Amino acid sequence: MNKAYIIGILVISVAMGFTLWSFKDTMTPYTDIAGARKSESTVQVRGKILHETTRYDDQIHALRFQIQDDHGAKIEIVYRGPKPDSFDTAPETAAHGMIGKDAAGQEVFNSDALVVKCPTKYDDNKTPYKKTASTKGNI
Amino acid sequence: MEKYHSLLRQAEMIANFGKATVWMGLIFAILSMVAYGLSLKRAGDKSMLLIARFLYLATSLSVLATFSILASRVYGMDFRFDYVFKETGRDLIQPGFLHHWLRLAATWAGQEGSFLLWTLWACLIGFLVFWKAGRYEARVMPFYISVIGFLCAILLKQTPFHLVPLPTADFFANNPLAQYPPLDGAGLNSSLQNYWMTIHPPTIFFGFASLAVPFAYAVAALIWKDYDGWTPRVMPYALLTCATLGIGLFMGGYWAYETLGWHGFWAWDPVENASFFPWLAITALVHGLVVQKSRGGMGRSNTFLAIFAFWLFLLGTFLTRSGVLADISVHSFGSIALASKYLMIAMMVVYGIAGLALWGWRFGTIPGRKTIGDSLVSRDFAFFMAVVLMVVACLIVTLGTTAPVTLPWIHRTAVAPDAVFYNKPLLPLSILCAFFMGVVPWLAWRKTDTEKFLSKLVVPWFLMLGFGFFMIFWTLSAEREWAAVSDMTDPGVMGTWAAWGKNVIVQRMAVVTLCSLGFLTALSNSMLVYKVFRSKPLAAGGWLAHVGIGIMMIGIIVSNTYERSAIVTLTEGGDAKELFGYTFDFERMTGTPLSGRPNNPEYDRDNKVAVRVTPPAAETPTDGSAKTFLIYPRWFANDLRVASEKEIKYMRWPAIQKYFGHDLYVSLASDAIYRWPTDDPEKQRPGIVLQKGERRQLGEYLVGYFEPFGTPGKVMGAHLVILTPDKKIVEAKPAMNIEMGMTAMNEEIPEIKDAHGNSAVAILDRLDAGTKAATIRISLPGYNGGWAVPLAVTYKPWVNLVWIGVLIAVAGTLLAMVRRALEARRLTDTPTEPRIEPNTWEMPSAP
């Protein structure tokens, strides 16, 4: 066995070992709102965006809105960052972050990343002729 | 109706012709493969070869015809075609050269079109392949053409020639406004309405298409056991792929940086990764080929890498196109037809399993070279390590990207790993890479005299140490400035911080080490470029690419670690805000209010916020003149004409002020908000609440709410009486149409106009069923709201080094490609032994 191959194999195995070892730490598990309340670390919560609750909080420069998960539980998300472009039309989001409290002592979910899936982006159901009376926008 | 039917028949004819061209492409491709196969049997017979070439020409012309038909439909906005309807719209018809290009670029906006673009490029590159392949033509072309055949088959199942179905006569009777063909399409996705759309996809698909060439050569080499002869011929293609994929990745990154507003250029998104891991594999192959051509050996790893790189690209295509990652990626394409999904899986299985089996079967017969580890102080070893490190990086990125698909196999939830997953192991790998790149110019092939090597390294090494000391002081000051503006309760900041293990020493050491080694890489390689360039200019290409990579490494680590972000809200008429030494002040809105939406904050499609910026004293002229400038962060509001207020889609576009040393990156953190006069102390809800019979002085106007009116279930409104400053009485009846989904009516008050001629507005938002209290958004001259603009400002140091580095690296790669292409031209068609380059020390030969 020559030296180069030994070093090569060593580098590959150390790097891959390290990667696999740190794999678990860098994954953020999905959970529901009840699970997020129990969790002590970062989680991802998926839920329906309640658009009528959306507002921009000037004090802490955050987008605040409520989401509702599959079990009907609701929580307010406080997201500090640029509003995702497709947010306004997105039906649901997965928020990455942790449960915390805001300045008023309310329980909120502090989020640093929102994964927003936009229904209209690559909508296979785009059709020029809707079955409703209103043809506004599609004539 | 008859007119519609004849229009439909005409479209059907065009669609059938389009589908026929795809069939022809597939059939000619298969025939061409067969003819090439037969020509191998009869080696002396040139006529079969000519037939095969002719059939290949026919394949290419068919694909070109398919592309032209689709492009002409898209450019002509023929909305009878489903694809055209979905991917483009009349809002692209605007004056200017760019919009003509954009109308054409919509051709590759969807799944089908981008597959077609890939096929077209593959056909064009094929001409280069058979023209330059010499005696390898008949061996290589069948495998190359098989890829085109697969693509044609996918295009048959995933055809862009579906038609919009013609509605029934009843439908037209019920919808008198409906027309056939539809008057307008769904529109090009707003984030694609950008000049990069015209150039980024063609570039990256060119890179993808050219990946098939090294693959076909490697397969031919394995079958005919010609393990060295293929290297000089395949090198130009490998370098071409490396350069086009590289520049394509750069364009994508710059596009994201310029438009997405999150002040980054790389997000480890699956679509980005899907181009990045083939790039890593093909770059590893380039280094392996240099070793094989100059010194012999590495035949096993090179044939493997060529097959692997192509397979990885198929994997990436499958991951991003099939919709398996739809929940995770920001740019995921929608799902595709099941049949084409199976075809893509078939491609992966056929090329992957068969390729690997062939390689494994031939493994024993490929001559190895035992000398590569003779001396660890040698260029051979440095190149070997380059291959190893890039393969490792490639595996890590592939592992992370496929994790959402593979995790369910081990009964875990499908989650995409965070950026930390990639950054953690890639940082030490980059440091190792930079080290080898920094010392390789001073190493000779085979064996280097250690003393000579050290004596050559000593000058750049000490210069590097000097730069390292400078970096220590620079990072200390950057850390202070970062801490000064960072809110440690912000989870985003905490996340960045946690990525470094909350350890400032680790962070500082990693940054300083990588920057120093990046500096060494750039320095050593530029010294060699200077030396080589004077005697053999073409041979400088590879080293020049390393110069660029070194510069880019510094740019990436510094701009990402020490970028500083903060958000401020600018208000119309409010105070200026200061951030990072710059002062920001709201100047004006540039949009024009739409006539149908009086005083509506949405304005028009292209809303810009003019913000006046005063740079810090150091950047202001010393003669005392105020040097301020305007920047225009903006937001597009799509479908303004037609959508209701809730349905309007926004897209924000940041403003970037470039300096030599940093970028000032300003984007709207949220939509600019129009603040209507409000009773709400927190200013969260717009509108004032008037009780029935109440009178209130609003600015110079006295507004009274006389009584509610309306028809139950149809319309409800509030009867207002307004006394103007010049004692005129004006009545206003803002109302809500309940039948039409609570849409506002009578909002304009044409009798009252402001200085600009805009009418006053009263919009009824709510009428309490019990108390009859009305919530009204009202705007009167001298009594109106103002804009509040949340601005996200990022100070990004040294980011220009990233772009400069990439451009140098690509230029170097292209130079190396030219050199290798010229070398390949001199090749004779007789098999030769690999040329072993003389082990010269004074003039090390460049890759």
pLDDT above 50 (res B840):
no
Angle A35-A37-A38 from CA coordinates, rounded to 5°: 65
B768: which 2 tokens?
């309490």
Q: For testing the chain A interface, which of B336, B388, B432, B436 should be mutated: the one with the most A CBs within 10 Å?
A: B388
**Domain presence at residue A133:** no
- Which residues form the domain of A91? 30-116
Q: Is residue A138 part of a domain?
A: no
Poorest-confidence range of B436-445, B546-555, B589-598, B712-721?
Answer: B589-598
Residue of B422, B428, B515 lying closest to B472 (CA atoms): B515
pLDDT at B832 over 80: no
Cβ contact, residue pair B334, A123, below 8 Å: yes
Asked whether residue A62 is domain-assigned, the answer is yes
Cβ of A128 under 8 Å from any chain B Cβ? Answer: yes
Looking at residue B370, its pLDDT comes to 63
Mean pLDDT (chain B) is 85
CA nearest neighbour of B628 among B611, B612, B608 = B612
CB burial of B127-137 (b: ≥16 within 10 Å; e: otherwise) equals eebbebbbebb
pLDDT mean over A60-73:
87
Q: pLDDT digit string (tens) for B421-465?
A: 888 889 999 999 999 999 999 988 877 788 888 988 999 999 999
Sign of CA dihedral B521, B524, B529, B535: negative
**Span between the terminal Cα atoms of chain B, in Å:** 68
Looking at per-residue pLDDT, the higher value among B810 and B771 belongs to B810
Q: How close, in Å, is residue B535 to chain A by CA atoms?
A: 33
Query: Looking at residue B296, what is its pLDDT?
Result: 80
What's residue B501's pLDDT? 65
Is some CB atom of chain A closer than 8 A to the CB atom of B579? no
The two structure tokens encoding residue A113: 């990343």
Torsions phi, psi for B845 (to 5 deg): -80, 140
Per-residue confidence at B91, pLDDT binned at 50, 70, 90?
confident
* A positions 84-123 inside 8 Å of B (CB): 85-86, 88-89, 94, 97-98, 110-113, 115, 117, 120-123
A126 assigned to some structural domain: no
Residue A19: list chain B partners with CB under 8 A.
396, 399, 421, 424-425
Convert the pLDDT of each residue in B753-774 to its tens digit: 777 667 788 888 888 888 888 8
Of residues A63, A123, A122, the one with CA closest to residue A93: A63
Given pLDDT bands bounded at 50, 70 and 90, which one contains residue B405? confident
Which tops the pLDDT comparison, B501 or A89? A89
Residue B825 confidence (pLDDT) above 90? no
Residue A47, domain CATH: 2.40.50.140
Mapped onto helix, strand or coil, the DSSP state of residue B383 is helix
Residue B601 reports pLDDT greater than 90: no
**pLDDT one-digit tens code per residue, B563-585:** 888 888 898 878 888 888 899 99
Please judge whether A4 and B650 are an interchain contact, meaning their C-beta atoms are less than 8 angstroms apart: no
B360 part of contact set with chain A, CB < 8 Å: no
Q: How high is the pLDDT of residue B289?
A: 93
Q: What DSSP designation does B351 have?
A: I
Could you tell me which of B540, B666, B543, B563 has the C-alpha nearest to residue B615? B666
Sign, CA torsion A40/A44/A46/A51: positive
Residue B465, chain A, CB below 8 Å: the answer is no
For residue B327, give the chain A residue with the closest CA: A117
The Cα A103–Cα A108 span in angstroms is 10
Interface of B with A in 285-314 (CB under 8 A): none
Q: Do B373 and A4 touch (CB under 8 A)?
A: yes
Q: Which residue of A has its CA nearest to B412?
A: A29
Q: Is residue A65 part of a domain?
A: yes
Q: How many CB atoms lie within 10 A of CB A132?
A: 9
Q: What does the CA dihedral B525, B528, B530, B535 come to, rounded to 10 degrees? A: -140
- What is this structure's pTM? 0.87
Residue A139 contacts B where some CB pair is shorter than 8 Å: yes
B403 in A contact zone (CB under 8 Å): yes
**With an 8 Å Cβ cutoff, are B429 and A133 in contact?**
no
Distance between CA atoms of residues B407 and B401, nearest Å: 11
Report how many Cβ contacts below 8 Å link chain A to chain B: 179
CB contact under 8 A, B178 and A129: yes
Question: Between residues 555 and 574 of chain B, which touch chain A (CB distance below 8 Å)?
Answer: 567-569
Contact B790 A56 (CB under 8 A): yes
Give the range with max mean pLDDT: B59-73, B630-644, B728-742, B764-778: B59-73
CA distance B375 to chain A (A): 8
Task: Say if A83 is an interface residue toward chain B (CB within 8 Å).
Answer: yes
The residue in chain A having the minimum alpha-carbon distance to the alpha carbon of residue B326 is A117
A7: in domain: no
Supply the pLDDT for residue B787: 84
The pLDDT tens digits of the residues spanning B471-521 come to: 999 999 988 888 887 776 666 666 666 666 667 788 888 999 999 999 999
pLDDT at site B611:
92
Separation between Cα atoms, residue B108 and residue B436, nearest integer Å: 40
Tally Cβ neighbours within 10 Å of residue B739.
Answer: 11
- Alpha carbons B46 and B571: distance in angstroms, whole number: 78
Highest mean pLDDT (candidates A105-119, B237-251, B598-612): B237-251
CA–CA distance from A9 to each of B100, B354, B391, B425, B638 (Å)? 54, 26, 11, 16, 54
Which residues of B fall within a CB distance of 8 Å from A97?
Answer: 491
Instruction: Give the confidence band of B622 by pLDDT, cuts at 50, 70, 90.
Output: low
pLDDT in tens, B324-380: 776 555 554 556 777 888 888 999 999 999 999 999 999 888 887 666 666 788 888
B727 conformational bin, left if phi > 0, alpha if psi -120 to 50, beta if neither: left
Among residues B679, B657, B550, which one has the least CA distance to residue B613? B657
Exposure of A62 by Cβ count < 10 A (0-12 exposed, 13-18 middle, 19+ buried)? buried
Whether A20 is in a domain gets the answer no
Model confidence at B247: pLDDT above 90: yes
Chain A residue with Cα closest to B499: A26
Give the span between the Cα atoms of B670 and B680, in whole angstroms. 21
Domain tally, chain A:
1
For the cut 70, the answer to whether the pLDDT of residue B733 exceeds it is yes
Q: Can you count the helices (H) and strands (E) in chain A?
A: 2, 6
The mean pLDDT of B671-689, rounded to a whole number, is: 77
Per-residue confidence (pLDDT) for residue A131, from 0 to 100? 44
Higher-scoring residue by pLDDT: B472, B419: B472
User: A22 CB contacts (<8 Å, ≥6 apart)?
Assistant: B421, B424, B425
Q: Which residues have C-beta within 8 Å of that of residue B400, sequence separation ≥ 6?
A: B268, B273, B416, B417, B421, B422
DSSP-assigned letters across all residues of B468-510:
HHHHHHHHHHHHHHHHHH--TTSHHHHHHHHHTTT-HHHHHHH
> Tell me, what's the ipTM?
0.82
B388:A2 CB<8 A: no
Phi and psi dihedrals of B631, rounded to 5?
Answer: -120, 160
